[in-house]
């Protein structure tokens, strides 16, 4: 149970903040950048939820909760203390969601430009933020030991958000398709 009685503590006023194990690092540390970009992904999904139906809203709420698990996992840099870990089960749920929402989509005939409906556009934005978070976590993994399920989770999440962006564009019928070299043609 989390109980927050004070919002400000002044403990970060000198540019350092605490990890879950109590150690303090500069706020610009790679680990905090990764956690921050996961948080940004979560905020983008909160925006998406304003524009989807109840079923998709509930699923995205579950994903937002998972993203807090991702942040909790990343905030514990070692295995010396018990910690919440992202699990293969959470990754597998994303794969099930991808398969479910992808089954009725029109086949891809081109790359897709972000756009279409409001929901689709915000899903594309959330997807690109997720990819950035994934790159940052991957960078962190190159320097420190992390739970690799976190990387798998973010990778699958970006795939799911792509599928959902198409789903929200009338199951792909209203996708905005890339037209290679379209603006290179001479127009009279």
Residue 164 within any structural domain of the chain: yes
Residue 3 within any structural domain of the chain: no
pLDDT digits (tens, 9 = 90+) for 28-61: 879 889 999 999 999 999 999 999 999 999 999 9
Residue 119 within any structural domain of the chain: yes
Residue 89 within any structural domain of the chain: yes
The number of distinct structural domains making up the chain is 1
| Contact in structure between 156 and 91 (CB atoms under 8 Å) | yes
Residue 2 within any structural domain of the chain: no
Residue 152 within any structural domain of the chain: yes
The pTM for the full model equals 0.90
pLDDT digits (tens, 9 = 90+) for 146-173: 999 999 999 999 999 999 999 999 999 8
The two tokens of residue 4 are 């927050």
Rounded to 5 degrees, what angle do the CA atoms 61, 106, 91 make? 35
Residue 137 within any structural domain of the chain: yes
CA distance 122 to 178: 18
Tell me the residue range of the domain where 37 lies: 28-171
Residue 176 within any structural domain of the chain: no
């Amino acid at each position: 149970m989390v109980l927050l009685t004070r919002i400000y503590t002044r403990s970060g006023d000198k540019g350092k903040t605490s990890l879950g194990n109590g150690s303090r690092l500069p706020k610009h540390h790679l680990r905090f950048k990764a956690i921050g970009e996961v948080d940004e992904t979560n905020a983008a999904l909160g925006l998406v939820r304003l524009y989807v139906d109840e079923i998709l809203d509930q699923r995205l709420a579950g994903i937002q909760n998972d993203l807090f698990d991702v942040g909790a996992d990343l905030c514990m840099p070692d295995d010396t203390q018990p910690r919440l870990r992202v699990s293969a089960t959470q990754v597998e749920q994303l794969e099930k969601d991808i398969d479910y929402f992808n089954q009725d989509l029109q086949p891809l005939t081109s790359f897709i430009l972000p756009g279409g409906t409001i929901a689709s556009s915000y899903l594309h934005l959330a997807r690109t933020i997720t990819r950035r978070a994934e790159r940052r976590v991957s960078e962190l993994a190159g320097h420190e030991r992390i739970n690799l399920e976190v990387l798998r989770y973010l990778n699958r999440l970006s795939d799911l958000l792509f599928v959902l962006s198409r789903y929200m564009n009338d199951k792909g019928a209203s996708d905005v398709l890339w037209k290679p070299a379209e603006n290179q043609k001479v127009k009279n």
